[in-house]
C-alpha cells in the first residue's frame, strides 16, 4: 500500500519510533507554531496516522502531467482541497487584528446619504437641480440633511469600519502552518448606517474576504502540496509546490490569488475558520 510519507519511511517505522511515547505533551497558549510542530511528533499513534494518510490520498488530484518528462505525477494534493476537507485536523494557531477602525469621523458623497431616505422623502425631494449637482460632493449626514432642508436626525450618521487581520491554521500530522490575511472590505472603509456599534460590526463582517499575501511553513515535506494557476499557459509555470522550510515562506502573488479565490468561493466549507474570524471581532 502506498503512503504519503517518503518511500523509506513506512507506517510501521513511524509507529515503532513512537510506540514508547505517551500523550504527555500538551500545547499551551504560549507555544509557537515551531513548538507545536516539535511536540506533534509524539502525539500521533499509528492508527491515527494511517487514517489521516488514507483521507489525504482520497483527496489527491487526478495525476498531473510532469512538464519535464510528460509523465504523470502521482499523489499530488491541491492545497485548497486539503484546507476545505472538513475531516482534516486543522487547528487555529492564532487569529489577530492587525489594524482596525470603527468611528463616525468621515464624509461620503451626498448620493450615499440620499439613498438612506425613505421613499416618501425621495418623492418629495427628487434628485434634481442643486441636489443632482451635489450628488458626488462629500459631506456628513448632518450636512446632507441641511442640503435637503430636513431635520438633522433624518439621516443617521454611518459608522466607518475597516478591519485587517491575520489567521494561522495548523495541520499537526503534516507539520504544516499557513498564514492568511483577511479584511471586511478592499475599500478604504465600509460605511454602515446603523445606530448601535455592535450591530454595525456584525454587518461589516458579513462579507469579509481574504486579502494580500499567504505564507507557508512546511517543516517536513511528507506530502507534495501544490497550487495550480489554470490561467498560465506554460504548464511548467502553472504549478507551485509548497516548499519545505524552517520559517514562513511567502507564496508567489499569482498563486496566492488563486488560493484566496478558491477559498473565498467555497466559504461554506470553511465554517470553522469563518466562525473564528467572526468571533475575533
pLDDT above 90 coverage of the chain, percent: 61
pLDDT tens by residue, 65-121: 343 344 444 578 899 999 999 899 999 989 999 999 999 999 999 999 999 999 999
Co-location of 174 and 79 in the same domain: yes
Decide if pLDDT at 36 tops 80: no
Question: What's the DSSP call for residue 245?
Answer: -
Q: Tell me the helix, strand and coil percentages in the chain, rounded to 5.
A: 35, 25, 45
165 with 54, same domain: the answer is: yes
- Segment holding 192, helix H or strand E: strand 190-192
- Where among 134, 157, 180 does a domain terminate? 157
Flag whether 150 is in a domain. yes
Q: List, for residues 136-153, the tens digit of each pLDDT value.
A: 999 999 999 999 999 998
Residues 176 and 229 in one domain: yes
Is residue 196 in a domain?
yes
What pLDDT is attached to residue 12? 34
pLDDT tens digits for range 193-214: 888 999 999 999 999 999 999 9
* Domain co-membership, 76 together with 204: yes
The closest of 134, 160, 163, 159 to 147, measured between CA atoms, is 134
Q: What's residue 233's pLDDT?
A: 79
**Cβ(167)–Cβ(95) under 8 Å?**
yes
Backbone dihedral angles phi then psi of residue 71, each to the nearest 5 degrees: -100, 145
Supply the mean pLDDT for the chain.
80
- On whether both 116 and 38 belong to a single domain, the answer is no
In a domain, 126, yes or no: yes
80 and 27, same structural domain? yes
Helix/strand/coil for 93: strand
Say yes or no: 53 and 165 in one domain: yes
pLDDT tens sequence across 148-170? 999 998 999 999 999 999 999 99
Statement to judge: residues 111 and 132 lie in one domain: yes
* Whether this model's pTM surpasses 0.75: no
Residue 32 pLDDT: 52
Residue 3 included in any domain:
no
By residue range, what is the domain housing residue 137?
A: 106-157
Q: Does 152 lie in the same domain as 32? A: no
Asked whether residue 4 is domain-assigned, the answer is no
Asked whether residue 19 falls in the same domain as residue 128, the answer is no
Task: Give tens-digit pLDDT for 178-197.
Answer: 999 999 999 999 999 888 99
**123 or 54, which is more confident?**
123
One domain for residues 138 and 257: no
Amino acid at each position: 500500500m502506498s503512503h504519503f510519507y517518503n518511500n523509506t519511511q513506512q507506517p510501521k517505522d513511524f509507529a515503532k519510533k513512537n510506540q514508547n511515547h505517551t500523550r504527555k505533551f500538551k500545547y499551551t497558549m504560549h507555544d509557537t507554531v515551531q513548538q507545536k510542530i516539535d511536540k506533534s511528533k509524539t502525539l500521533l499513534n499509528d492508527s491515527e496516522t494511517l487514517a489521516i494518510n488514507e483521507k489525504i490520498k482520497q483527496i489527491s488530484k487526478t495525476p498531473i502531467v510532469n512538464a519535464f518528462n510528460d509523465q504523470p505525477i502521482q499523489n499530488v494534493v491541491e492545497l485548497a482541497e486539503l484546507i476545505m476537507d472538513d475531516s482534516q485536523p486543522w487547528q487555529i494557531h492564532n487569529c489577530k487584528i492587525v489594524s482596525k477602525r470603527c468611528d463616525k469621523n468621515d464624509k461620503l458623497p451626498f448620493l450615499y446619504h440620499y439613498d438612506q431616505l425613505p421613499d416618501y422623502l425621495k418623492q418629495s425631494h427628487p434628485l434634481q437641480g442643486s441636489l443632482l449637482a451635489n450628488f458626488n460632493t462629500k459631506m456628513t449626514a448632518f450636512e446632507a440633511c441641511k442640503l435637503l432642508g430636513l431635520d438633522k436626525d433624518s439621516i443617521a450618521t454611518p459608522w466607518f469600519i475597516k478591519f485587517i487581520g491575520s489567521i494561522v491554521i495548523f495541520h499537526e500530522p503534516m507539520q504544516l502552518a499557513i498564514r492568511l490575511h483577511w479584511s471586511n472590505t478592499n475599500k478604504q472603509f465600509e460605511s454602515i448606517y446603523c445606530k448601535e456599534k455592535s450591530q454595525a460590526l456584525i454587518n461589516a463582517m458579513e462579507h469579509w474576504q481574504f486579502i494580500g499575501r499567504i505564507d507557508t511553513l512546511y517543516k517536513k515535506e511528507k506530502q507534495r502540496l501544490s497550487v495550480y494557476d489554470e490561467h498560465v499557459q506554460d504548464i511548467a509555470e502553472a504549478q507551485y509546490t509548497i516548499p519545505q522550510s524552517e520559517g514562513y515562506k511567502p507564496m508567489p502573488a499569482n498563486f496566492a490569488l488563486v488560493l484566496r479565490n478558491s477559498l473565498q468561493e467555497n466559504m461554506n466549507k470553511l465554517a470553522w475558520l469563518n466562525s473564528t474570524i467572526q468571533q475575533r471581532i
